[in-house]
Amino acid sequence: MTSNVEKHASNPLAANEYLGPLLELLGDHGISAAQVVQGTLIHPNALIAVDTRITVSDYDRIIRNALALSHDPLLGLEHGRRMSIASHGFLGFAVMASETLGEGLSLAVRYAGTRTNLAEIRFIQDNHHCVLQVLRTASLPASFHFIAHNILSTMITIARFLTRNSEKLSPEIHLIEPPQAPLSYYDQLLDCPVTFNCEHYELVLPKEALNLEVSTANSVARHNAEQECERLLAEAPGHHVDIASKVRALLISYGSALLLGDAAQKLRVSPRTLNRQLAQLNTSYRHMVEEVRREHATRLLGNSSIKIEQIAQELGYTDTSNFVRAFRKWMGITPLHYRKLTKHVS
């Protein structure tokens, strides 16, 4: 039987968004695109073409070439540090428009599959810390440390951008390997404590950092980008349907009034297990209910003339004022204001 790690090996993934910046970095080392694609059937110019998709095995070969040619075991950290938030497409826009760092990181974990199927990110919390754990999902043992380094460095870079490098961020990095370069090089690239020989690749943040406000927050923009991420996730090659997607499908089919116990029964798990699995994605059943309600509300407000009171009832609110308060919390404006805006745009 094919394992989850092996089954992604031939699935295509987008090349240009991430390999373009890598080629620029390698160019600083005097390494050409032709050298990077040796051993593959890819033309060097294809790496920067908008519609290029490459197989995971070719990606693995490209990364192994890059590491061998650069003689830099920390190339992934430097690559991640150079990535702009716009490089991550709609996921980047959704994260950038989040209200808080915690919300942005939740979106990054939830929709990481829209950008890569080479790794999985898990979100773990205790009383004092939150941990973003990077796990391998494709059979690329030779290049996975580059991928993990890249993800960790990218997440730190984005977190600092979102919070304007707040002192409360206080990140720490855990790496599974021993030091591959002088410690001063790690400090130069990451500017935070690094612990080696750990069990997992991890970014560790103080729990209070999740409440840091994002300077570029925009509720409407986040909602629109998140909807696009949901579509891209469903279309992603080799996408594994996670528990959040299953809960979302149930809530859409049975309505947002579906109780946690009933949802758990339909998924053949206990309510406790369902809560735990959703927590690994830094979400909750209640949050999923609110997410589906929000999407249903914006769809009805934008595409129909149904009265606000009727929309509130359809979403399960017995009091219209409670719906208005919830909608203002979701979108930053009232339902009536949102309807006027959407009519003006159309």
Superfamily of domain 241-345, CATH level 4: Homeodomain-like (1.10.10.60)
Residue range(s) occupied by CATH 3.90.1520 in the chain: 12-211
- Sheet architecture: strand order including 172-174: 119-125, 129-136, 201-206, 172-174, 194-195
3-state secondary structure of 320: helix
3-state secondary structure of 121: strand
User: Which CATH number among 3.20.20, 1.10.3470, 3.90.1520, 1.10.101 corresponds to the domain 12-211?
Assistant: 3.90.1520
Amino acid at 76: G
144 C-beta neighbours (distance < 10 Å), count: 22
The tens digit of pLDDT for each residue in 243-280 reads: 887 888 888 888 888 899 999 999 999 999 999 888 87
Q: Which two tokens stand for residue 194?
A: 């690094």
The tens digit of pLDDT for each residue in 26-40 reads: 999 899 999 999 998
Would the pTM of this model clear 0.85, i.e. be above it? no
Q: Which band of pLDDT confidence, cut at 50, 70 and 90, is reported for residue 87?
A: confident
The whole-chain average pLDDT of the chain stands at 85
14 within 8 A of 52, measured Cβ to Cβ: yes
The pair phi, psi for residue 77, each rounded to 5°, is -65, -40
Alpha carbon 201 to its chain centroid, in Å, reads 16
Alpha carbon 39 to its chain centroid, in Å, reads 31
The tens digit of pLDDT for each residue in 308-325 reads: 999 998 888 889 999 999
Residue range(s) occupied by CATH 1.10.10.60 in the chain: 241-345
